[in-house]
Amino acid sequence: MKNKHLISIHDLSAAEVAEIFDVASKMKKSPAKYATALKGKTLGMIFEKSSTRTRVSFEVGMFQLGGHALFLSARDIQLGRGEPISDTAQVLSRYVDGIMARTFAHKTVTDLAEYGSVPVINGLTDLLHPCQGLTDYFTAFEHLGRLKGRKLAYIGDGNNMAHSLMYGGAKVGMHVAIATPKGYEPNPEVVELAKADHAKAKTTLTITNSIEEAVAGADVVETDVWASMGQEGEQEKRVKDFAGWQVDAAVMKKAKKGAIFMHCLPAHRGEEVAAAVCDGPQSVIYDEAENRLHVQKAVMYLLMGGRKRKH
């Protein structure tokens, strides 16, 4: 992998994404072969926001690779008391071999990469969630067998998940359609970059306010919460603005027959998704959650200089 960091899927080539998927598949199949791949290495994990999957999958992943992970709540380290990010990045780089960070501002993660000297992995920012985006396409690959020419429809808020799925589709040869209510469209700068990525990949990126248009012919239907972390104060307003935007059985019926349903979790059943869909036969939500582990192990292995056991 040429990239030193994983900050945005936009920065990766299609070949690098394929390499991550290939290593993740091998690790999922034969985890023991990689039991000492990152022996003696440490990952520092900075969290400004809550997490279940990201925290546990990275920590367990480092353990399974023979390394160690440190949970660093931003509230408890000096960063939370105003120590500059540049100092934090340089100091941590003297101790650890990689940094994973979940932050509000995207700039915090890019600054960690700029000032530190070790690989930085974006564990979610207000702008992007690349580990989840990669994992979702990996999960789709496992279920659909082939991704090229397929279509993913994302219904809901034009948020970090929408952005990472927009970037990811172009790297795996999938058409992407994002449907949001008016006023909740994805970030225009991300749309512009993702449109260029899709044009290069000869796939389409559709941004629409129509659920029907997005799900028509979709092999994958995905949604996410209406109010992301940091937007708790807007919850009530958003519930009103997103009325009619639930992914329910009727929406799934408009997608391709046999389409799969994905959600990065945590999910709010009865809001963005009906329980019957989230817990129904088309849902692959727990495969997605599990695959965070395998995909992130592959990312850490490729970025942090992992070595496979010879025997």
Query: Between 53 and 175, whose beta carbon lies closer to ligand CP?
Result: 53
Contacting residues toward ligand CP, per CB under 6 A: 51-54, 124, 132, 264-265
Partner in contact with 125, chosen from ligand CP, ligand NVA, none, beta carbon below 5 to 8 Å by kind: none
Quick one: DSSP state of residue 272?
T
Residue 135 interacting entry, from ligand CP, ligand NVA, none, C-beta within 5 to 8 Å by type: none
Q: Which of 53, 106, 111, 132 is catalytic?
A: 132
Phi, psi of 123 (to 5 degrees): -95, 20
Query: Shortest Cβ contact with ligand CP: which residue?
Result: 54
Distance CA 6, CA 10 (A): 10
Write out the DSSP string of 99-116: EEEE-SSHHHHHHHHHH-
Q: How far apart are CA 76 and CA 107, in angstroms?
A: 20
d(CA 48, CA 75): 7
Residue among 5, 10, 53, 102 flagged as catalytic: 102
Q: Which is nearer to ligand NVA, 132 or 203 (CB)?
A: 132
CB of 126 to ligand CP, least distance (A): 13
> How far apart are CB 227 and ligand NVA at their closest, in Å?
8
Cβ nearer to ligand CP, comparing 41 with 129: 129
Which CB sits closer to ligand NVA, 97 or 288? 288
For residue 185, the 8-state DSSP code is P
Q: Which does 52 bind (CB under 5 to 8 A by kind): ligand NVA, ligand CP, none?
A: ligand CP
Positions touching ligand NVA (CB under 6 A) are 124, 129, 159-161, 224-225, 228-229, 264
In the residue annotation, 269 being an active-site residue is answered as: no
Select 102 or 198, whichever has its Cβ closest to ligand CP: 102
- Non-local (6+) Cβ contacts of 239 within 8 A are 226, 271
Residue 175, beta-bridge partner list: 151
Q: Is position 282 annotated as part of the catalytic site?
A: no
Q: Is 264 a catalytic residue?
A: yes
Task: Read off φ and ψ for residue 155, nearest 5 degrees.
Answer: -115, 120
If phi > 0 it is left, if psi is from -120 to 50 it is alpha, else beta; for residue 173 that is left
Place of tokens 């429809």: 153
Whether 146 sits among the annotated catalytic residues: the reply is no
H/E element holding 194? Answer: helix 188-201
Q: Nearest approach, Cβ of 51 to ligand CP (angstroms)? A: 3
From the list ligand NVA, ligand CP, none, pick the one residue 161 interacts with, judged by a Cβ distance below 5 to 8 Å according to partner type: ligand NVA
